[in-house]
Amino acid sequence: MNDFSIYFNLGLTHVLDWNAYDHVLFLTVLVAASTFKDWKRVVGLVTLFTIGHTASLVLAAYDVLAVSGSLIEFLIPVSILITAFYNLFTAGKTKNGSILLLYVVTLFFGLIHGFGFSSFFVSTTGSGGIEVLRLLAFAVGIEAAQLIVVLIVLLLAFIFQNIFRLSKRDWVLIISAIIIGLTIPMLRENWIL
């Protein structure tokens, strides 16, 4: 297996690892208010996450920025909760320009989560920094895995809203509430104050 395949699979399994389901929670709550008609915005959000994740790997690999692991583990559930509460407060309302908050939180989560994974990733590449091909393969694997998660969430939204006739507002409220319930224990476990 060549380097591209190895690092692509590493990116893929990094997102789809059920032992580290924070990615799935964030992506689910991020696109909970979206439909298939919003595919361009959804792909943009997913790609923005990947850019943030990749940027933090580079910053950590070249010792440009170091962030405490305990702070990172605390900030990951915080970013999920911010997005979920955003959904709760905006469900069923017209979002006039507030989409910017989703872009900022998405980039923030990507940066934070990338720092959370940077020590492992850098250890797999050895000393001397990150090879561009490996970093690219990892980023493409992350992007592919995220698109799989998003496709599943959009498909579930379609089923619940069109077949079971759950309103979009109720769908967003239910999904966001479930994710808040799943994220609060993560926040308590990683509380730093």
Q: What is the mean pLDDT of each run of 10 residues along the chain (193 residues)?
A: 88 90 93 94 94 91 87 92 91 73 84 85 68 90 96 98 96 98 96 84
Q: Kindly provide the b/e burial profile for residues 48-87, where b requires at least 16 CB atoms within 10 angstroms of the residue's own CB.
A: bbbbbbbbbbbbbbeeeeebeeeebbbbbbbbbbbbbebb
Q: How far apart are CA 106 and CA 51, in angstroms?
A: 10
| DSSP annotation string for 170-189 | HHHHHHHHHHHHHHHHHHHH
Q: How far apart are CA 25 and CA 98, in angstroms?
A: 21
What was the pLDDT predicted at 96?
58
What was the pLDDT predicted at 128?
58
Q: How far apart are CA 156 and CA 67, in angstroms?
A: 36
What was the pLDDT predicted at 157?
97
What was the pLDDT predicted at 126?
62
Q: Provide the terminal-to-terminal Cα distance of the chain, rounded to the nearest Å.
A: 45
Q: How far apart are CA 10 and CA 124, in angstroms?
A: 10
Phi-psi region of 92 (alpha: psi -120 to 50; beta: other; left: phi over 0): left
Q: How far apart are CA 111 and CA 50, in angstroms?
A: 9
What was the pLDDT predicted at 103?
86
What was the pLDDT predicted at 127?
54
What one-character DSSP code corresponds to residue 19? G
Q: In the numeric block, which tokens belong to residue 128?
A: 């001397």
27 to each of 4, 31, 102, 150, how far by Cα in Å? Answer: 25, 6, 11, 7
What was the pLDDT predicted at 111?
93
What was the pLDDT predicted at 116?
83
Is 113 exposed, middle or buried (CB count within 10 Å of its CB: 0-12, 13-18, 19+)? buried
Q: Tokens 């393969």 identify what position?
A: 137
